[in-house]
Structure 1
Amino acid sequence: MQKTSPITITITTAPAASRFVFPTLVRWYARGEGAAYALLRFGYGAIIFTHGLPKALGVSHGSMADPMGGSIRLIGDVMGLPFAPQLAFLVMLLETVSAAMLALGLLTRPLALLMFVEMIAISYAMGPTWPWIDRGIEYPVLLGLAALYMVLRGGGAYSLDSRMKREI
């Protein structure tokens, strides 16, 4: 009977310093990565919240006099979906309550997935009428990509998900 020896695998999370022009910055980059991701997640939630709050309060938002009415028209008339008022209400909840939860890193993966789906829907519905640089179709596209990143990454070190030690 032969005796086998264990295999040792070493995994490092810090990138090799030799490939950086300024290798002394590698530790600084690694140290700041968690905080940078938390800032991205918080900023994303805050930006989305600014779009949901006018819908919830029934106040104007930028050039849109009735944001909730605009959402209902987009869902019903442009996308042709049934139950437009009810779906617009769910969008308002997603853009307020869920955005605040996402900013704090609570239920990050499922909420970011919902945000990703919303941004795909907006990009699909508005893509033909919003040029690439005027009115900004790149805005929901970029927000969708950021949401997908959060789906794959989760809450991160500085999140309520991390504090609870449970994540979906």
Structure 2
Amino acid sequence: MSNETRLIFPRLEGFYRSAAPLSRAALRLAFGLTIMTHGLPKLTGSAHGSMADPLAGSTNLIANVLHLPFAPQIAVLVALLETFGGLAVAAGLATRLFAPMFAVQMLFICLALGPTYPWIDRGFEYPLILGFIALLIAIEGGGALSVDRRVGREL
């Protein structure tokens, strides 16, 4: 028995092989920039979606839903992580440091928003899928098209 993968369309093997690094980089870039767009408004005090004060919203969620101590300080750390960690993951810098942090953050968001799962009413489908994307990025690392690989220091 062979461990070889048999493709349904064998002629696409070259495309798959050459597109893999680019698709991983595109996923990492999209994920990192998406996360960054949630942190930047918290740091700048700008409105984000329906939230007039996203940092206050995060503080409220941490304090009153998750019941964690030091909610204002944790909210600032989350904002910093989302902003600078998101940019780092987008660039592929310290990817295996930041991506697991995002996976844990998404887990906590799912716990805070659960048990609802609908597309409306603050369901947790978005943090759930983002958490799994973060886990994939954490396991695979920055990839061939990353700052980590460029400097030869992938964790």
TM-score range, shorter chain: over 0.9
Counterpart of 2:48 (choices 61, 71, 75) is: 61
* Aligned positions, number: 152
- Inter-partner Cα distance in structure 1 for 2:69 and 2:132: 27
Counterpart of 2:7 (choices 12, 15, 20) is: 20
**Equivalent in the alignment of 2:118:** 132
**TM-score scaled to structure 1, two decimals?**
0.86
Counterpart of 2:133 (choices 135, 146, 149) is: 146
1:99 alignment partner AA: G
The answer to whether the aligner puts 1:35 opposite 2:22 as a matched pair is yes
**TM-score scaled to structure 2, two decimals?**
0.93
Alignment map for 1:75-90 (pairs within 5 Å):
75-90=62-77
Partner SS for 1:131: coil
Q: Percent identity?
A: 47
- Inter-partner Cα distance in structure 2 for 1:42 and 1:97: 13
Stretches (4+) displaced over 6 A: none
| Alignment RMSD | 1.4
Which one has a bigger Cα radius of gyration?
1
Per the TM alignment, residue 92 of structure 1 is displaced from its structure 2 partner at its CA by 0.2
**Equivalent in the alignment of 1:5:** none
2:22 alignment partner AA: A
Contiguous gaps of at least 5 residues in structure 2 = none
**Equivalent in the alignment of 1:156:** 143
Deviation per CA, 1:17-39: give whole Å up to 9, x if none: xx223211111111000000000
**Equivalent in the alignment of 1:46:** 33
Deviation per CA, 1:131-151: give whole Å up to 9, x if none: 332134110000000000011
